[in-house]
Amino acid sequence: MSNGKTRAMTFGVIVGNRGFFPGHLAKSGRADMIAVLEKAGHTVVAPTPEDTKYGAVETRAEAAQCADLFKRHRETLDGVIVTLPNFGDERAIADTLRMAGLNVPVLVQATPDAPGLMTITDRRDSFCGKMSACNNLSQYGIPYSLTTRHTEAPDSDLFRKDLEWFGAVCRVVKGLKRLRIGAIGARPAAFNTVRYSEKLLEGAGISVEPIDLSEILGRINRMKDDDPLAVAKLTDIHSYVTTSGVPDAALMKMAKLGAVIDQWMAQTEVSISAIQCWTSLEEFFGVVPCTVMSMMSNNLISSACEVDICGVIGMHALQLASGTPSALLDWNNNYGDDPDKAVCFHCSNLPKHFFREVKMDFQAIIAGTVGRDNTYGTCVGLVKPGAMSYARFSTNDREGIISGYVGEGEFTDDSLETFGGAGVVHIPHLQKLLRYICENGFEHHVAANLASVAPAVREATSNYLGWSVISHE
% helix / strand / coil in the chain, to the nearest 5?
A: 40, 25, 35
The whole model's pTM is what?
0.95
In CATH, the architecture of 180-472 is: Alpha-Beta Barrel (3.20)
Long-range contacts formed by 156-159: CB under 8 A, 24+ apart: 159/36, 159/109
What would the mean pLDDT of 435-442 be, rounded to a whole number?
98
Assigned CATH for 4-176: 3.40.50.10940
Whether 56 and 24 have beta carbons less than 8 Å apart is answered as no
In this prediction, what percent of the chain has a pLDDT beyond 90? Answer: 90
State the distance between the two ends of the chain, measured CA to CA, in whole angstroms.
Answer: 29
SS3 assignment, position 101 = coil
Q: What is the pLDDT, as a whole number, of residue 2?
A: 39
SS3 assignment, position 225 = coil
* 385 has pLDDT over 70: yes
Distance between CA 376 and CA 367 in Å, rounded?
9
Q: Name 79's bridge partners.
A: 11
The residues near 399 (Cβ < 8 Å, ≥ 6 apart) are: none
Least confident of 83-87, 367-371, 396-400: 367-371
* 124 has pLDDT over 70: yes
What would the mean pLDDT of 444-465 be, rounded to a whole number?
98
Prior bond to 279 cis, omega within 30?
A: yes
Q: Name 106's bridge partners.
A: 80
Q: How confident is the model at residue 6 (pLDDT cuts 50, 70, 90)?
A: low
pLDDT tens sequence across 410-438? 999 999 999 999 999 999 999 999 999 99
Whether 47 and 69 have beta carbons less than 8 Å apart is answered as yes
In this structure, the strands spanning 272-275 and 326-334 are unpaired
Q: State the maximum Cα–Cα separation within the chain, in Å, rounded to a whole number.
A: 82
Whether 422 and 383 have beta carbons less than 8 Å apart is answered as yes
Distance between CA 411 and CA 386 in Å, rounded?
5
Which tops the pLDDT comparison, 455 or 122?
455
Prior bond to 348 cis, omega within 30?
A: yes
pLDDT tens sequence across 312-351? 999 999 999 999 999 999 999 999 999 999 999 998 999 9
* 156 has pLDDT over 60: yes
pLDDT tens sequence across 100-120? 999 999 999 999 998 887 777
Q: Could you state, in order of their start, the residue ranges of all structural domains in the chain?
A: 4-176, 180-472
* 297 has pLDDT over 90: yes
Which tops the pLDDT comparison, 385 or 278?
385
Distance between CA 93 and CA 111 in Å, rounded?
16
Q: How confident is the model at residue 23 (pLDDT cuts 50, 70, 90)?
A: confident
Task: Give the closest residue to 69 by CA, choosing from 55, 58, 83, 59.
Answer: 55
